[in-house]
Structure 1
Amino acid sequence: MMKCPFCDNYFTIVIDSREVEDGTKTKRKRKCTKCEKKFTTYEEKAVEVKDEYKHDINN
């Protein structure tokens, strides 16, 4: 959920979305449903880390 920087409303609509730079960020154009002002956000993709543990059951 993204809060409008103008009126603090939590209900916004994504108008346009595209990847920028090396594909690690997303640029989103948004519109507030209350005050109807438009603003842009840059969001970084979350990186998921998986831990793998291998063990030898014969030892």
Structure 2
Amino acid sequence: MDIVYYDLDRYVIREDAKPVLDKLAELMGRYPFLDLLVGSHTDSRASEEYNIKLSNSRAEQR
């Protein structure tokens, strides 16, 4: 799958990432036995506390 990017300091998925996620949702619907391993990271420009909050916001975004 393609990489899903976020804009700097944002937790909302970018518009250009939505087709990637739509394709993933289609595959999961077609093959419900698939397991997903999702990972992400933040850059090191901000404090650890800030990056943890940003990462958690990204994980909670629906």
Which is bigger in relative contact order (C-alpha 8 A, separation at least 6)? 2
Q: TM-score interval w.r.t. the shorter chain? A: under 0.3
Which structure has the larger Rg?
Answer: 1
Greater helix fraction, Structure 1 or Structure 2: 2
TM-score w.r.t. length of structure 2: 0.22
